[in-house]
Amino acid sequence: MGGSVFGNIFKISTFGESHGEALGVVVDGMPAGIRIDREFLDREMARRRPGQSALTTSRSESDHVEILSGVLGDVSTGTPVAMVICNTSQRSKDYSELEEVFRPGHADFGFFSKYGIRDVRGGGRSSGRETCARVAAGALAKMFLAQYGIRICAYAYEIAGIRAETFDIAEIEKNPARSPDPDAAVAMSEAIAAAHRENDSVGGIVKCFIDNVPAGWGEPVFDKLDAKLAYAMMSLGSVKAVEFGAGFAVAKMRGSENNDPMLPGGKFASNHAGGILGGISTGARIEFAVAVKPTPSIAQEQQTVDKDGNPRTITITGRHDPCIVPRIIPVIEAMSAIVLADFALLNRTVKI
Amino acid sequence: MGGSVFGNIFKISTFGESHGEALGVVVDGMPAGIRIDREFLDREMARRRPGQSALTTSRSESDHVEILSGVLGDVSTGTPVAMVICNTSQRSKDYSELEEVFRPGHADFGFFSKYGIRDVRGGGRSSGRETCARVAAGALAKMFLAQYGIRICAYAYEIAGIRAETFDIAEIEKNPARSPDPDAAVAMSEAIAAAHRENDSVGGIVKCFIDNVPAGWGEPVFDKLDAKLAYAMMSLGSVKAVEFGAGFAVAKMRGSENNDPMLPGGKFASNHAGGILGGISTGARIEFAVAVKPTPSIAQEQQTVDKDGNPRTITITGRHDPCIVPRIIPVIEAMSAIVLADFALLNRTVKI
Amino acid sequence: MGGSVFGNIFKISTFGESHGEALGVVVDGMPAGIRIDREFLDREMARRRPGQSALTTSRSESDHVEILSGVLGDVSTGTPVAMVICNTSQRSKDYSELEEVFRPGHADFGFFSKYGIRDVRGGGRSSGRETCARVAAGALAKMFLAQYGIRICAYAYEIAGIRAETFDIAEIEKNPARSPDPDAAVAMSEAIAAAHRENDSVGGIVKCFIDNVPAGWGEPVFDKLDAKLAYAMMSLGSVKAVEFGAGFAVAKMRGSENNDPMLPGGKFASNHAGGILGGISTGARIEFAVAVKPTPSIAQEQQTVDKDGNPRTITITGRHDPCIVPRIIPVIEAMSAIVLADFALLNRTVKI
Amino acid sequence: MGGSVFGNIFKISTFGESHGEALGVVVDGMPAGIRIDREFLDREMARRRPGQSALTTSRSESDHVEILSGVLGDVSTGTPVAMVICNTSQRSKDYSELEEVFRPGHADFGFFSKYGIRDVRGGGRSSGRETCARVAAGALAKMFLAQYGIRICAYAYEIAGIRAETFDIAEIEKNPARSPDPDAAVAMSEAIAAAHRENDSVGGIVKCFIDNVPAGWGEPVFDKLDAKLAYAMMSLGSVKAVEFGAGFAVAKMRGSENNDPMLPGGKFASNHAGGILGGISTGARIEFAVAVKPTPSIAQEQQTVDKDGNPRTITITGRHDPCIVPRIIPVIEAMSAIVLADFALLNRTVKI
């Protein structure tokens, strides 16, 4: 099992450690006849790439994707598409301390408890670097979904307590925070820089909306569309919460307020449901938000223990993003696309 | 695919409509040699049963579970355990209006868009009644998990804006709201009754904690323990949000604050992580919360459309819980147990 | 896992022991909008039913299927179809000897080694009675496949060394051996009766052909159409071999002889491939054969051991078919239909 | 789905075309703590490598495996092991004819019918070259299985009608036919060479036995050990039949003859069952045989059609093995090992 395979029809199998030879993904179930847009793939990878702005880690990776199979000319053939991203910028630093000590806020202790062994170099498999394979697979999913006119857009709604108050979709990719509010973007960037100067990190909230998903996607009762999206979002190590539509606010609502009245033309008077009812898309905009925790790797002394259970302190040096939000945004879009591609294909099988 | 199968090793396949012949579940992967405690199973079913208190629907079902296979004497044999709950209290009312009109806040439109057909009697497969099969399967999972000393406890943290301010585990099952704070329980019950009188409904927040899960459960990278728990929770039609540990509050934290310092003895100085880091259990208490929307079926006039897209109004009569929280609590525990049973078994396969 | 779930899209989950309360199956992924033909379902069950002729066990079961869910009126709704067959004719005989002794040719020792416990009543889960659930699911699969014009036909090609020399499809269901050659059928019946008189049993070969499968079904590289059919056939406890097209005879052929020349109109000059090349249907008739072992339960003294490894003898009384071939024929058709239904649905997902 | 993922716990995802950039596999579920023996891996690959003897294609590939992840030092970490084999010896020949014409005995027509597109270069995904990824994964499976003392041995039992009459395990890897009978090996080699001279090819039978599989592996009712082995064997494009133990010979046996009497010490007086009863291993030697068809690519004129259905002739030049048997032997072992590794892990989950 392992846990590195995701999806039913559009099925991805990812691999790779942050400081190993390479990372990558095999997409089994990519339909035949899709135009593979190399430039789009590169652009998606560039959005997640480390070193893209002053807000992210100074570690720079080209993150070039090599496509090994499944594509003939620029068209998918229906066979598995394997994509590999070679690691090029792993500093050969001394990891001997990490072999003995568990980093707070990291999966170190869990991995060691689980496997009795762990790859300490850069966090190994539990590093966020793993997500580059998801972005590559997500780019394929987006190419497939293009035929449905689906648009997926994630952005920084809140960083370090600063919220986007305005929404201009054209602004999102123009600022390093990926905020739709240019003023908030400036404040977010300053807050990230301040935290970094103080050897600390900050968290935030990413919002995502998806347009043009037809009514009827999602499989009752377990494989609800929102259930699978939540599964996909929570599979990101730094995500600690997810809500759809009105989310936690439904707790204080009454039914008469929360129910979205249906209007002629397949429209709704409101969208507290976030475009999903009973796990099936309604045709309305799909909306969700996720909470992203502050980067656990911080360059200040923290209390921890070693393998023998003795108290220790640790100061994590190295190049880490002081805020995960800007670079997780393309990953959230990618995982959304992967989930939707799977449901699009599954939905072809539900009727005579 | 269908979407009614859940789990990898401890795999459940559920079936049944609210007004069909019966509902049930086949558990494939129930390990052999587990003592099957009929009384415990009955008690778990009774906790979810309609008609158990003044707060729930007046519709009464015995919800008796018949075990058809997989058990010899009172011990599991390792073969599939099939459990069936017959429907006994379906009123033969007139559903002809529902055939034409989509209920706001329900999956009606989604089902119709998806399948081109839907079972309108009581909501069919999208009814909350479907969850009785989950509770039966969850009871088996709890019997299996008993050997690990695992305790799963869910409770009403907030209903209609009223929060539990104190926590006494012994109180939870003593009041119909399932609140650990007896004073809040009274206020919650009153708020539910008030909403009911006003032909309306209320939402709330359920919290759940799980003790004694060993460090090391959960499969990176997709099948993280929290990812699968989120998947399980969001597979409940009325759940719109889920958060682990500090949840959405991490967005405003700094890394130095959010990281839980490790202490000798496998302990942590705090538990913002909710017992899961990088998708793997740390040995600390697992904690999460889910938002439950107000019951969409309300006895007041609502705006909607019919199959032809014409504007209509609808007033939903019938017997519905004015608040889903009290009865969803055993379901949340059941789904947690099903997820944990699967990971407990999977974790036997990860090492030489 | 358990092993009682089969299929990807058209997914079945079976349960039940020969002497338990009931057997059955949940079909998750039955497409919506299929007309459910109760009479056809009953006929299919009757073909597998014990006690249908002098050649089969004198044990008689009505094998009535109760449909619990997933059907509205006489149309499938897209939700799981659960079907249950209650056991009615289990003789309450003394099974205490079987608790101590392993029957030769049976799964007794394997089950005990595996689970440390086994249901000895009538063989429990390893009884051929388990296949009634497959026939029920297969009937649904056939109803779905009807839209493609697919015809599946299995028959007794050889019993006790007697081969069908002629082929008249109309004869198959007219004789208790299910042979397409009426003369061979008489000889087969006599051979079965003779073996029965001598407290023994006989084996045989079942052939199956499938017409009108479109070219293109089957998924390379593992989920080849023939690979999945072989998997399905070998999942029957009494099947020990399977071959497609020329089968074992290819070993002695040359390529120039074995290759089937393609003709205009999607035809082939021969069919050594059995309608499948590289795991994908070619549009030609699909043809395969399976070897069915003689019933292991025989009423003569056999050498065996008990749980403690001591030598023992055993004479198996009770009502058993002296030849499994006639009654396995509908099961082979059912499993074929289940495999094909899955591939039919999967094939909707392979192209843009 | 795609069909290129195999296994439940020990799960492999393969990719690659014969003339693409590379082929490979991701093994998700490789347990942690296994010593990864690079030399053993290389030896296994060398056994399948083209160009290894006069009997095989003159095309030479180094088939060097690059391990990209999941291994630290020489120990598996529990995370996915990705292995890539780059293509180095694809001749840039003219494939324009193959774009128009379907090769007899090949999957060309099926692929085109399925996807509406196919990679004609060297057969693309349907080429036997795909199996190099299986051998790499199988080598890992064997490393894992070593702890159980399991030995898997496949060999050429028959080629071009010539049967091995003696059995000396030490001879198998000494002759290019991989026959356990050195005299037969000479005759087999001559027969292969003769066919090659005549622009033709020959088929054969591979036998495989597996020792030291404990009693109790295999999952009733569908995931029987023999069912999964048959599935694995039939997933090889040139295999047309598989039989276990006495196989097709059971058709002529009586129960009293076919049943294997049990003896004290977990032994059996015979092994008609081939070590598997009711789908569960008995502890006896597992034995099966597969029929391998003659190579369909032959350098003589054959009748076929083009894409438009017009009659055409084709003469397939290029470098092809005149007999697939010698090089499929390590693939059969590899697939057996993959199946067994999966069941070994699954069997850890079946009891309390």
pLDDT in tens, A26-39: 999 999 999 999 99
Contact A328, A232 (CB under 8 A): no
Q: Which helix (H) or strand (E) holds B14?
A: strand B11-15
Helix, strand, coil percent content, chain A, rounded in steps of 5? 35, 25, 45
Distance CA D351, CA B32 (A): 5
Contact B123, B106 (CB under 8 A): yes
- Cβ neighbors of A308 (< 8 A, separation 6 or more) are none
On average, the pLDDT of chain D sits at 95
Whose tokens are 């058209």? That residue is C10
Kindly determine whether residue D31 and residue B349, on different chains, have CB atoms separated by under 8 Å.
yes
Peptide bond into A221 cis (omega under 30): yes
Q: Decide if pLDDT at D92 tops 60.
A: no
Q: Could you tell me which residues are beta bridge partners of residue D286?
A: D210
Average pLDDT over residues A153-177: 98
Looking at C116-262, list the stretches that DSSP marks H as alpha helix, in order from N- to C-terminal side.
131-145, 182-197, 225-234, 255-258
* C72–chain B Cβ distance below 8 A for any pair: yes
B349 to chain D, closest Cα gap in Å: 5
* CB-nearest partner of C114 from D126, D205, D350: D350
Chain C residue numbers with beta carbons less than 8 Å from the beta carbon of D5 are 222
Q: Are strands D311-314 and B65-67 parallel, antiparallel or unpaired?
A: unpaired
pLDDT at D93: 64
Contact D11, B223 (CB under 8 A): no
pLDDT at B90: 65
Tens digits of per-residue pLDDT, C213-251?
999 999 999 999 999 999 999 999 999 999 999 999 999
Q: How far is CA A37 from CA A134, A136, A144, A178, D172, in A?
A: 17, 12, 11, 24, 50
Kindly determine whether residue C106 and residue D277, on different chains, have CB atoms separated by under 8 Å.
yes
Q: Decide if pLDDT at D145 tops 80.
A: yes
pLDDT at B4: 98
pLDDT confidence band for C201 (50 / 70 / 90): very high
* CB-nearest partner of C115 from B15, B77, B124: B77
Distance CA D271, CA D213 (A): 14
Six-digit token string for A137:
């697979």
pLDDT confidence band for D97 (50 / 70 / 90): confident
* B350–chain A Cβ distance below 8 A for any pair: yes
Contact D137, D12 (CB under 8 A): yes
DSSP per residue, D44-102: HHHHH-TTSSTTS-S-----PEEE-SSEETTEE-SS-EEEEEE---------HHHHHBP
pLDDT at B92: 55
pLDDT at C121: 80
Residues 16-35 (A) with a CB less than 8 A from some CB of D: 16-17, 20-24, 26, 28-30, 32-33
Distance CA B275, CA C42 (A): 53
What percentage of chain A has pLDDT greater than the value 70? 98
Q: What is the pLDDT along chain B (352 residues), one digit of tens a residue?
A: 789 999 999 999 999 999 899 999 999 999 999 999 999 999 999 999 988 888 877 777 789 999 999 999 999 999 999 999 999 876 656 677 778 899 999 999 999 999 998 888 878 999 999 999 999 999 999 999 999 999 999 999 999 999 999 999 999 999 999 999 999 999 999 999 999 999 999 999 999 999 999 999 999 999 999 999 999 999 999 999 999 999 999 999 999 999 999 999 889 999 999 999 999 999 999 999 999 999 999 999 999 999 999 999 999 988 789 999 999 999 999 999 999 999 999 999 999 9
Average pLDDT over residues D243-257: 98
Q: Which helix (H) or strand (E) holds B226?
A: helix B225-234
Distance CA C12, CA C135 (A): 11
Kindly determine whether residue B119 and residue C77, on different chains, have CB atoms separated by under 8 Å.
yes
Whose tokens are 């392979």? That residue is C350
Nearest Cα neighbor of C16 from C63, C71, C81 is C63
- Cβ neighbors of D96 (< 8 A, separation 6 or more) are none
What letter would DSSP give residue C347?
A: G
* CB-nearest partner of D13 from A1, A3, A26: A26
Six-digit token string for A96:
């001997």
Q: How far is CA B263 from CA A102, B181, B281, in A?
A: 11, 31, 16
A117 or C191, higher pLDDT: C191
Q: Could you tell me which residues are beta bridge partners of residue A154?
A: A208
Distance CA A11, CA C160 (A): 47
Distance CA B284, CA B265 (A): 11
Nearest Cα neighbor of C38 from C147, C145, C140 is C140
* C351–chain A Cβ distance below 8 A for any pair: yes
Q: Decide if pLDDT at D237 tops 60.
A: yes
Angle between helices D131-145 and D38-48 (to 10 degrees): 140
Chain A residue numbers with beta carbons less than 8 Å from the beta carbon of D78 are 2, 114-115, 117
DSSP per residue, D240-286: EEEEETTGGGGGG-BHHHHS--EETTTEES--TTTTEETTEE-SSPE
Chain D residue numbers with beta carbons less than 8 Å from the beta carbon of A4 are 26, 28, 79-80
pLDDT at A232: 98
pLDDT confidence band for C62 (50 / 70 / 90): confident
Kindly determine whether residue C350 and residue A78, on different chains, have CB atoms separated by under 8 Å.
yes
pLDDT at D231: 98
pLDDT confidence band for A51 (50 / 70 / 90): confident
Q: Could you tell me which residues are beta bridge partners of residue C280?
A: C277
Helix, strand, coil percent content, chain B, rounded in steps of 5? 35, 25, 45
Chain D residue numbers with beta carbons less than 8 Å from the beta carbon of C201 are 254-256
Residues 144-203 (C) with a CB less than 8 A from some CB of B: none
Cα angle A277, B101, B300; round to 5: 80
Chain A residue numbers with beta carbons less than 8 Å from the beta carbon of D30 are 2
**Per-residue b or e along D269-304, where b marks 16 or more CB atoms closer than 10 Å to that residue's CB:** eebbbbbbbbbbbbbbbbbbbbbbbbbbbbbeebeb
Q: Are strands D239-244 and C239-244 parallel, antiparallel or unpaired?
A: antiparallel
Contact B211, B151 (CB under 8 A): yes
Report CA D214 to chain centroid distance, whole Å.
Answer: 23
Average pLDDT over residues A202-215: 98
Q: Which chains touch D (3 or more CB pairs under 8 A)?
A: A, B, C
User: Whole-structure pTM over 0.95, yes or no?
Assistant: yes
